[in-house]
Structure 1
């Protein structure tokens, strides 16, 4: 995990659907209060990405976008909350986000280049319809997945002491 980097440029290699199923099964082990599984993933390959690119173009009033074509596999991360008296929506969205992050780590470990992309289209009703989202669901972004290109220089390590503090003492 210390070597993980976002990969904005990837090759045409990608995991098969069957390989992806194994990784999703592992990512689904994320902590999930009440075991609601408030998430799902949408796999976009080939012409799916072209339809996505065309929809972005329609929304922008331009030619189709090249962005969805930058990786051979896009995985939409969807928060799919269930009403629950003890588990608020924000916590269920955190579970969906956790699945997306763990999946990105698993893909990286499997040798693929991955970057999580968001932006204004994640909140677009047309894009939500294109992805088959229900009214209660929320698009959290897309993992762009492809073959890893040569890694850049290692990332600067996190200064853990800056982020880990002690509980305040009572005065």
Structure 2
């Protein structure tokens, strides 16, 4: 059997997971030595705090939108300008362990990743109730005609989804000890 042939029992998902693992390991090698001063636990925790503050700010902007403040949506721009570099830096310094494929991790790392993902999903589900109830009850009270409410609910949902998507990496960035020298 040649290297390019695929065994008959390999499913599309198996092949995709193999590809994903190869791509992850290649990217990990490329970024392994980037931002060495930010790899310590206190620096990773600082990034987590910055992200948490950014998410709180995004949600506050959503509330401002709910009150019909016309310039409030413009505040998403500075939030994004803080979020994107902080998120990218946390991903680099934590080795993207929050979304790493299982084959790229040892058993302990898989257990930590899965636990962080479970927490992220639970938090997302509970936080998503806020925009859901806001939209459902708000639409009932206004007859569904309030465009500020629709925009505010959508931006609340976006903020919650960002929290849920980033939370596993934030948890791992917070709890992991300093890397060995």
Name the larger-Rg structure.
2
Q: Which has the higher strand share?
A: 1
TM-score (norm 2): 0.25
